[in-house]
Amino acid sequence: MKDKFFKYIEKLQDSITSKLEAIDGSATFQEDIWERPEGGGGRTRVIENGTVFEKGGVNISGVHGKLPASMQAYFKVGDVDFFACGLSLVLHPKNPMAPTVHANWRYFEMYNEQGEIIDQWFGGGQDLTPYYLFENDAVHFHQTCKNACDKHNPEFYPIYKNRCDAYFHNSHRNEARGIGGLFFDYCKATENMSMEQWFAFVSEVGDSFLEAYVPILERRIHLPYTPEERNWQEIRRGRYVEFNLVHDKGTLFGLKTNGRIESILMSLPPHVQWVYDHHPEPNSREEKLVRVLKNPVEWVS
């Protein structure tokens, strides 16, 4: 399964970066092949200062070795080996009318002293972080997520949508990072779902990413905007950074397993503001967004 999934994310990385380069039209992805001293490595691709993308990354990795003590405590296991692979992407468009997007699809194994698999699971999801709320964009993104889920289990979308709302939440701000999408983790074999079936589901969601995001991007990247609207984008990006550095499990896992720091922090936007005690104007478009972030919406039924 680990070989099968790694080959899948290699192809998915190629298809996503090719499409994004075509949309940008000027910038291309810089590629870094890197190795982890303890075992494994990855292929990082970053785009910067483009016509459309201010910064973005589409990274894959496959790492293995002894599970660090800090992670042994987290997973409540002893001295075990592990393998983890996945694709992680974050895209920050220049235009504040176009949303930031994040996605991740991953697979994990743990082994005993004999090298036998003692645990394995899939995880992942995709979520949207707008700076100005266009309701038809939110509906499109969530409907695409729901369509992917419904092909495998009609119960998946409401479950994983709610988990996304709960996970991507800045509890210290009492607001969501964005308008959500899907979040699933510890997807293990059961009598109802084999690992092959979980692979089919996760790859279905991965394959839906471009369909979910690209139409939104293409609708928004040519809209006019003011310096004030760009200013708001940078303030909201600060909340994005706060989540990634304070709460995000993937970031923390990478830092605790001696991951490649440039790849881990690829998700951070280049231009960000933290303004003291900032509040949007009453009844403004900015305040409308914040109201939604404080109360998750059911975008599709």
Catalytic residue numbers, as ranges = 102
In sequence order, what DSSP letters do the residues of the chain get, joined into one string?
-HHHHHHHHHHHHHHHHHHHHHHHSS---EEEEEE-TTSEEEEEEEEES-SSEEEEEEEEEEEEEEPPHHHHHHHT--S-EEEEEEEEEEEEESSTTSPEEEEEEEEEEEE-TTS-EEEEEEEEEEEEE-SS--HHHHHHHHHHHHHHHHTT-TTHHHHHHHHHHHHSEETTTTEESSSEEEEEEEE---SS--HHHHHHHHHHHHHTHHHHHHHHHHHHTTS---HHHHHHHHHHHHHHHHHHHHT-HHHHHHHHTT--HHHHGGGS-SS----TT--PPTTSHHHHHHHHHHS------
Other CB atoms within a 10 A radius of the CB of residue 224 amount to 7
Q: What is the dihedral of CA 282, 284, 285, 291, to 10 degrees?
A: 10
What are 104's strand-pairing partners? 88, 125
Q: How far apart are CA 227 and CA 190, in angstroms?
A: 53
